[in-house]
């Protein structure tokens, strides 16, 4: 076995292994099972009833991710008066909500929710986003084309774009501190929170903790863990004492982003398969129609021609017959005329001869008489 | 058109306006590629897509649908009397798609990575991937479909004859690819049900985009015909002129029917999603303007114009229908998109964004004129009378 053959065999083995792996995945998909997230993946529970709007999480995020220094310092709380969203330099922001009938404001932190089935990753046409087994959704800028479809797709308006960067503008968003989690550390914001409004842990545990809190503190919470099922479930989840709409969290539905597009994507092979058949059929039908029409036209022409020929022949025959008849008549007439003339001439001649003969006889007699 | 090369012919008012637009466009292009997207647009994190997507891409692709509509009706459905309309339609479609791709370079953060989804890292779960793949393939198909015009001009008979033999196959490819990407442009918004107003959001968005692209194609053939008659009448041969009226009435009739069907399925969709209550809101009024003023009205005008054999009326209907397509794409991508954001966070295009769009449209017209005055597009080449 030479080297090339060995490599070929190795390659074939690799391909078949890969194929079987793909096949296994396909089988699960065909089984109509939904993806409930990676086992033992992490998440964060944000309890808005504990949040005091101190912006320490924003500061922590800024520091661990080495983002540019902010224009307004993090201890300046006047920025809370205006509603903000995440942008390319601020991967997390805290907003203040004045809720009717409540004597204190409610604060809610905002960052990437790290969906179990992320809209951004589903929408990205170069696979720049990855849902990692630790629960985080990360982004690889070296693949990014900068189309910003992820920003259109994200139901939480999280990804931000570096519009003012002329040559290498990239998407910016929270990574759930994926590199720090890999090192066994807490995300920057969670570590910075002084009120334990943020709880980091395995997502399954967090769901249990959230429901425990609701159960053991009657009246304190809405009976809803936002993010447990929203958009197919998110790694970040929220507890609130007021309806979630009041803290700027829309009702989302429980379908994950890919479920909205699966139908359209699934119809692609059908279009590719069916259209050529139908169109070739349409072409064949129109071709056939043309052919039939041409044949019919040809037949009609032939029939018309034949008829014309027949008619012409008939007319000719009649004319000929007529002519012949006329000719016959003329001949007969001429013959008759000639015969009549001949007869007449003969009669005349005969008469003349007889008259001559008679006079001669008479002459002889006369002579004779004269002689007598 | 040789006299256009003399000095007096060059400085016509039309050419001067064209020159100014091209010059301004060049300046904006320079700013865009040296200062970044933020320097020339009003795009923001909440509004990542503006008119460069809403108009240049969505309208550009829809309005270039005349290519597949005309070639399919002539070659596949056997409507040979539209034959003289095929070349102009293929030419505008090819230019349309080509400049859609050109315009896309302005909008992309990394324009040079545009081939990435095709050759480097395929994100097959994305509808944008489907759009990209189909547009790239269809642009190639259109190029080949269009090439006989150039090959006849250049006198390359052998290659031209080979290409002409591929006509039927290319036309089928064209319809398949057009079905896919026209519908996928609508399907792009399926992933954002929370952002697009319920009157426009529908799981049938891809179907709506595909059906309305037929209207766009039919109407653009009539509309472009009007423009071409105004500017390039002398380039048209007898066949083209003789068939022109038949094209206008035939396509007008088809457009009337398709618009009526489109109106029907849009209404069905409102019923299926039970969105009736939204009709009483401001967005509802706007939706009704679109439905009655830009779907029902052109359908009616087309029908009337065809029945009365009134060319002018059909042309007016075509403009109405084309504006309706633009309105619909704007509604889906811009006006009804992000409808629940406060007014301060909404998008309105920067004048330089509009400048780039005008620049691109001007480029298309200029190149079309260049081609139509030189190559056998509006007339048959005397040496290739057989069948093109």
The full DSSP string for B29-43 is HHHHHHH-GGGT---
Rounded CA-CA distance B200/B216 in Å is 18
Q: Indicate the average pLDDT of chain B.
A: 89
Q: Which of the four pLDDT bands, split at 50, 70 and 90, describes residue B9?
A: low
Ramachandran region, residue A37 (left: φ > 0; alpha: ψ -120 to 50; beta: rest): left
Distance of CA B117 to the CA centre of its chain: 23
Rounded CA-CA distance B60/B364 in Å is 11
The verdict on a CB contact (< 8 Å) between A145 and B116 is yes
Q: What is the pLDDT of residue A363?
A: 53
| B299: its two tokens | 């359908």
The verdict on a CB contact (< 8 Å) between A286 and B76 is yes
Q: What is the pLDDT of residue B386?
A: 55
Res B194 pLDDT > 70: yes
CA distances from A94 to A52, A86, A172, B57, B375 (A): 10, 9, 17, 36, 63
pLDDT tens-digit series, residues A190-241: 999 999 999 999 999 999 999 999 999 988 999 999 999 999 999 999 999 9
Nearest residue to B330 (alpha-carbon basis) of B230, B189, B139, B144: B189
The verdict on a CB contact (< 8 Å) between B123 and A126 is yes
Rounded CA-CA distance B142/B86 in Å is 12
Give B331's DSSP letter: I
Residues in chain B with CB shorter than 8 Å from the CB of A141 are none
Share of chain B above pLDDT 70, in %: 97
Rounded CA-CA distance B326/A233 in Å is 37
Beta strands A236-239; A42-47: pairing state = parallel
When CB atoms are compared, the residue of A125, A162, A289 closest to B126 is: A125
CA distances from A322 to A55, A317, A318, A329, A334 (A): 123, 8, 6, 10, 18
Helices (H), A31-101: 56-64
Give B272→chain A minimum CA distance, Å: 17
Average pLDDT of the segment spanning A17-40: 57
Residues in chain A with CB shorter than 8 Å from the CB of B72 are 279
| A49: its two tokens | 């009833």
Q: Which of A26, A126, A258, A262 to probe by mutation at the B interface, max B CB count within 10 Å? A: A126
Q: What is the 3-state secondary structure (H, E, C) of B352-367?
A: HHHHHHHHHHHHHHHH
pLDDT tens-digit series, residues A147-190: 999 999 999 999 999 999 999 999 999 999 999 999 999 999 99
State the angle between helix axes of B205-232 and B311-330 in degrees (0 to 180), rounded to the nearest 10: 140
CA distances from B26 to B12, B156, B356 (A): 21, 35, 9
Residues in chain B with CB shorter than 8 Å from the CB of A230 are none
Distance of CA A230 to the CA centre of its chain: 28
The verdict on a CB contact (< 8 Å) between A283 and B340 is no
Rounded CA-CA distance A47/A50 in Å is 6
Average pLDDT of the segment spanning B299-309: 95
Residues in chain A with CB shorter than 8 Å from the CB of B42 are none
Q: Which of A82, A95, A130, A264 to probe by mutation at the B interface, max B CB count within 10 Å? A: A264
The verdict on a CB contact (< 8 Å) between A149 and B128 is yes
For chain A positions 169-198, those within 8 Å of chain B (CB to CB) are 169-170
Q: Indicate the average pLDDT of chain A.
A: 86
When CB atoms are compared, the residue of A85, A125, A252 closest to B129 is: A125
pTM, rounded to two decimals:
0.84
What Rg, from alpha-carbon coordinates, does chain A have? Answer: 56
When CB atoms are compared, the residue of A124, A148, A289 closest to B123 is: A124
Do B191 and A122 meet the contact criterion of CB atoms below 8 Å apart?
yes
Average pLDDT of the segment spanning B149-157: 86
Ramachandran region, residue A73 (left: φ > 0; alpha: ψ -120 to 50; beta: rest): beta
Rounded CA-CA distance B59/B43 in Å is 19
CA distances from B214 to A264, B128, B208, B325, B356 (A): 19, 21, 10, 10, 27
Span of A1-15, A141-155, A194-208, B5-19 with lowest mean pLDDT: A1-15
Give B282→chain A minimum CA distance, Å: 21
Q: Is the dihedral of CA A231, A237, A243, A247 positive or negative?
A: negative
Nearest residue to B122 (alpha-carbon basis) of A114, A169, A143, A116: A143
Instruction: Give the neighbor-by-neighbor strand order of the sheet with A236-239.
Output: A198-202, A42-47, A236-239
Span of A248-252, B165-169, B373-377 with lowest mean pLDDT: B373-377
Instruction: Decide if B50 touches A, using CB distance below 8 A.
Output: no
Res A246 pLDDT > 60: yes
Whether the complex's predicted ipTM is more than 0.95 is answered with: no
Strand partners, A237: A45
């Amino acid at each position: 076995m030479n080297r090339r053959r060995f490599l070929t065999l190795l390659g074939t083995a690799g391909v078949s292994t890969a194929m079987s792996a793909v096949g296994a995945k396909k089988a699960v998909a065909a089984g109509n099972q939904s993806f409930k997230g990676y086992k033992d993946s992490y998440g964060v529970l944000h309890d808005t009833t504990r949040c005091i709007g101190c912006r320490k999480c924003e500061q922590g995020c800024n520091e661990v991710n080495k983002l540019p220094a902010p224009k307004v310092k993090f201890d300046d709380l006047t920025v809370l008066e205006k509603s903000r969203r995440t942008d390319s330099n601020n991967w997390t922001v805290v907003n203040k909500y004045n809720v009717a009938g409540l004597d204190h404001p409610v604060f809610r932190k905002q960052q990437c929710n790290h969906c179990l089935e992320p809209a951004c990753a589903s929408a990205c046409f170069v696979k720049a986003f990855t849902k990692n087994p630790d629960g985080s959704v990360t982004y690889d800028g070296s693949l990014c084309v900068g189309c910003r479809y992820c920003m259109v797709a994200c139901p939480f308006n999280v990804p931000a774009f570096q519009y003012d960067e002329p040559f290498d503008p990239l998407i910016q968003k929270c990574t759930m501190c994926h590199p720090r989690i890999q090192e066994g550390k807490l995300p920057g914001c969670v570590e910075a929170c002084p009120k334990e409004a943020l709880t980091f842990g395995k997502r399954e545990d967090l769901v249990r903790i959230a429901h425990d809190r609701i159960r053991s503190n009657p009246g304190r919470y809405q009976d809803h863990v936002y993010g447990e099922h929203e958009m197919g479930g998110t790694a970040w989840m929220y507890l609130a004492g007021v309806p979630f709409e009041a803290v700027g969290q829309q009702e989302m539905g429980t379908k994950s982003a890919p479920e909205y597009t699966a139908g359209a994507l699934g119809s692609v092979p059908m279009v590719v398969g069916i259209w050529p058949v139908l169109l070739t059929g349409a072409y064949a039908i129109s071709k056939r129609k043309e052919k039939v029409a041409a044949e019919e036209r040809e037949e009609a022409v032939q029939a018309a021609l034949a008829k014309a020929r027949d008619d012409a022949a008939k007319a000719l025959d009649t004319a000929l017959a007529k002519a012949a008849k006329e000719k016959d008549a003329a001949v007969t007439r001429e013959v008759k005329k000639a015969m009549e003339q001949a007869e007449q001439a003969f009669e005349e001649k005969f008469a003349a001869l007889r008259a001559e003969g008679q006079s001669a006889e008479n002459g002889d007699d006369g002579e004779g008489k004269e002689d007598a | 058109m040789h006299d256009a090369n003399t000095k007096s012919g060059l400085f016509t008012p039309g050419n001067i306006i064209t020159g100014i637009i091209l010059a301004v466009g060049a300046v904006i292009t320079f700013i865009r590629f040296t200062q970044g997207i933020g320097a020339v647009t009003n795009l923001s994190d909440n509004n990542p897509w503006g008119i460069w997507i809403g108009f240049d891409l969505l309208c550009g692709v829809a309005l270039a649908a005349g290519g597949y509509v005309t070639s399919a009706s002539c070659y596949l459905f056997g409507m040979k009397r539209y034959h003289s309309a095929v070349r102009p339609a293929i030419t505008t479609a090819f230019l349309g798609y080509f400049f859609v791709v050109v315009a896309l370079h302005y909008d992309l953060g990394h324009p040079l990575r545009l081939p990435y989804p095709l050759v480097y890292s395929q994100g097959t779960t994305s509808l944008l991937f489907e759009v990209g793949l189909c547009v790239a393939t269809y642009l190639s198909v259109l190029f080949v479909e269009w090439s006989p015009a150039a090959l006849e001009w250049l006198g390359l008979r052998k290659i031209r004859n080979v290409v002409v033999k591929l006509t039927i196959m290319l036309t089928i490819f064209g319809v398949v690819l057009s079905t896919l990407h026209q519908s996928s442009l609508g399907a792009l918004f399926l992933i954002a049900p929370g952002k697009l107003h319920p009157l426009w959001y529908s799981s049938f968005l891809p179907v709506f985009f595909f059906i309305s692209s037929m209207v766009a194609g039919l109407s653009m053939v009539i509309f472009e015909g009007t423009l071409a008659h105004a500017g390039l009448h002398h380039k048209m041969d007898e066949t083209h002129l003789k068939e022109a009226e038949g094209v206008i009435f035939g396509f007008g009739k088809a457009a009337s029917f398709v618009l009526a069907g489109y109106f029907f399925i849009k209404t069905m969709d409102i019923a299926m999603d039970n969105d009736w209550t939204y009709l009483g809101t401001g967005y509802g009024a706007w939706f009704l303007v679109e439905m009655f003023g830009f779907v029902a009205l052109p359908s009616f005008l087309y029908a009337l114009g065809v029945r009365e054999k009134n060319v002018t009326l059909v042309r007016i209907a075509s403009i109405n229908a084309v504006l309706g397509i633009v309105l619909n794409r704007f509604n889906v991508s811009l006006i009804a998109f992000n409808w629940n954001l406060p007014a301060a966070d909404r998008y309105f295009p920067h004048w330089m964004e509009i400048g780039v769009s005008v620049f691109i449209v001007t480029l298309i017209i200029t190149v079309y004129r260049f081609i139509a005055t030189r190559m056998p597009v509006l007339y048959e080449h005397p040496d290739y009378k057989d069948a093109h």
